[in-house]
Each structure stands twice: as structure tokens, then as C-alpha cells.
């Protein structure tokens, strides 16, 4: 959830709408759902385990997206034109 979800987020926000973008979003979305379903189907986990993993993965994903956006805005503010750069 966290890895494929973050890749889904990056593709959604950084790529212009196109057939390739739609295909990537479909692949990442399918991977997120099919990995959990396969774990239940193969008997490796109970459904409640998978749902708990999805919830935990979603919380981690939201935290990482928030951190990514904060770092991105910090970097843009640091690199804004006209700002004097000290060479120390």
C-alpha cells in the first residue's frame, strides 16, 4: 500500500493526463488491491489482517505524502530566484 500508493500519487501529480498515465494508475491501483486479495486467497493472512495492513499502509502513505509536500515547499522556498545565496 505504501510503496505502490506513493508511486500512484507521484504519477497522478507529476505526469500530464495521457494514456500512459492512465495505464500506470491502473497498474498501481491493481497491485494495491491484488496483493491483499492474494494474501487472503493463498491463506497467508486473514481478511482482518489484510484490512488492518491496508489501514496502516494508508496512514503511512498519508504521512509520507505530507512529508514529501513539506520538503518540496521548503526546497522551493529555499531556491526561489532573487534570494542571496551564501557561499560558506
- Burial (CB < 10 A; 0-12, 13-18, 19+), residue 7, is middle
Nearest-10 Cα torsion for 61, 40, 38, 65? 0
Rounded average pLDDT over 2-25: 97
Helical (H) or strand (E) element with 51? helix 47-78
Predicted model pTM: 0.81
14-32 pLDDT, tens per residue?
A: 999 999 999 999 999 999 9
Amino acid at each position: 500500500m505504501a510503496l505502490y500508493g506513493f508511486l500512484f500519487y507521484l504519477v497522478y501529480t507529476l505526469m500530464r493526463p495521457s494514456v500512459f498515465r492512465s495505464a500506470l494508475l491502473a497498474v498501481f491501483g491493481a497491485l494495491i488491491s491484488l496483493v491483499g486479495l492474494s494474501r487472503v486467497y493463498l491463506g497467508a493472512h486473514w481478511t482482518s489482517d489484510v484490512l488492518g495492513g491496508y489501514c496502516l499502509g494508508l496512514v503511512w502513505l498519508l504521512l509520507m505524502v505530507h512529508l514529501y509536500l513539506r520538503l518540496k515547499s521548503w526546497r522551493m522556498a529555499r531556491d526561489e530566484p532573487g534570494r542571496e545565496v551564501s557561499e560558506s
